[in-house]
Amino acid sequence: MVESKYIRYKKHNRDKGSWTCVAHYKLRTTYPTIKKSIAVLLGNWSKPSKLMMESFGIELIEIPFAKMVEALRKHQIDFNWSEQDSETPAMSWSKYQQLTERKKKNIASDCLSEFRAGLENLILAAIRMDPLSPKNVEQIELLIKTTHKEYFVKKFTHVTDATKYLLSLTEDAADLKDKL
């Protein structure tokens, strides 16, 4: 699964990054045959947002905002305006709309040029994964929801540890707070 995400201002990182995490997680848990989760990020992405996405198993290809600015500048389009500027975006959009389809594709190619091989390698690695190769448990993640609507996540690297933990919850207890 490959998704592209563009963000101009870092203030929107948390929203866009969180949405990506939830969407990819839900898709991968619904369709376990999805072999990889890849996001192509263009723009000004913060380190915390990228780390959050990676923690959800999303592999990232990051294209810096400056790369897009440079690609558009070749066509005399200013893309590096301040957030309060309303004139430059309108003029830039007008210039972009006048470009031929070929020139628009050239801009996309310029933005992707030095990142294309990395993206292709990620996709090819997913395609070439041997479905007959052994699959081993890397991590077990248990989500426990209490009657108080609290959520506890427990992570294990060994099946036996997860099993022991689950068995410890089967004992009769009036309150599990000390076990969670």
pLDDT in tens, 148-166: 888 888 999 999 999 998 8
Please give the pLDDT value at position 58.
95
Task: State how many domains the chain has.
Answer: 2
Q: Which residues contact 34 (CB under 8 A, 6 or more apart)?
A: 1, 27, 28
Instruction: Note whether 114 and 32 are same-domain residues.
Output: yes
Q: What is the pTM of this model?
A: 0.76
pLDDT tens track for 30-87: 998 898 999 999 998 999 999 999 999 999 999 999 999 999 999 999 999 988 899 9
Q: Which residues contact 25 (CB under 8 A, 6 or more apart)?
A: 56, 57
Instruction: Note whether 101 and 165 are same-domain residues.
Output: no
Please give the pLDDT value at position 146.
83
HSE value, Cβ hemisphere, 13 Å, CA-based, for 37 = 19
Instruction: Note whether 52 and 7 are same-domain residues.
Output: yes
DSSP 58-101: -EEEEEEHHHHHHHHHTTT------TT--HHHHHHHHHHHTS-H
Most confident of 7-11, 98-102, 130-134, 146-150: 98-102
Bridge pairing between strands 151-156 and 140-145 = antiparallel
Q: How confident is the model at residue 112 (pLDDT cuts 50, 70, 90)?
A: very high
DSSP 46: -
Give Cα separations from 61 to 12, 13, 42, 86, 137 (angstroms).
19, 16, 9, 30, 26
Please give the pLDDT value at position 173.
66
Instruction: Note whether 99 and 172 are same-domain residues.
Output: no
Please give the pLDDT value at position 172.
65
Instruction: Note whether 49 and 120 are same-domain residues.
Output: yes
Mean pLDDT over 79-97 rounds to 93
Containing structural domain, residue 24:
2-128
